[in-house]
Structure 1
Amino acid sequence: MLALTENVTEIVKKLADEVPGISALRIATEADGQSMSVSPADQAAPDDVVLEQDGATVYVDGQASELLADKILDGGVDEEGNIQFALGQQA
């Protein structure tokens, strides 16, 4: 199952606290089946896997969940306030 770093859980919790209508992040597979998108979300889609870790919630669509099963999601905020995410292999 996809794991989240402390950085990501803090980003998700901050978004949920500061932006009305956002309770989580959602990771979804794009139409090409190879790329994924990360976006704010207010609720899970019917086929989403719900990950809850350290007070943060991330929804992952079914296909992405399979592709990310052995990955860890990290993230950060740059000097301009842009959020960036990166995937790594779980140890």
Structure 2
Amino acid sequence: MLTLTDTATTVVKSIVDKAPQSDAAGLRIHGDAPDATNFNVAVVAGAEPGDSVVESSGARVFLEPNASKALDDKVLDAEVSDEGAVTFALTSR
């Protein structure tokens, strides 16, 4: 299952907290295929049926089934630039 670094956890919580969503909101990662290398990311009100849910210190990430398979052995990290732009990166465990 995907894991999050401390930085990614902080960034995900910050992004989700800024969006007017429900208490069950999180960041959803969607892949087009089980071997996807490019992903779509969006803040959503909650998990969709079939999503895997990763929780880390209050941060919620929802993985649609293709993303869950592709990211099973990965670690999500994040970086915030001086201008406030967020970049996510994936590494293998």
Same fold (TM over 0.5): yes
The residue that corresponds to 2:84 in the other structure is 81
Percent identity among equivalent residues?
39
d(CA) in 2 for partners of 1:67, 1:30: 10
Gaps of 5+ in 2: none
Q: Aligned to 1:28, which of 24, 27, 30?
A: 30
- Name the Cα RMSD after superposition: 1.6
* 11-20 or 71-80, larger mean C-alpha shift: 11-20
d(CA) in 1 for partners of 2:28, 2:18: 17
Alignment TM-score, normalising by the size of structure 1: 0.87
* 62-71 or 21-30, larger mean C-alpha shift: 21-30
Q: Which runs of 4+ in 1 moved over 4 A?
A: none
Q: Which AA in structure 2 matches 1:53?
A: S
- Structure 2 counterpart SS, 1:13: helix
d(CA) in 2 for partners of 1:89, 1:48: 21
Give aligned pairs, total: 89
Alignment TM-score, normalising by the size of structure 2: 0.85
The residue that corresponds to 2:60 in the other structure is 57
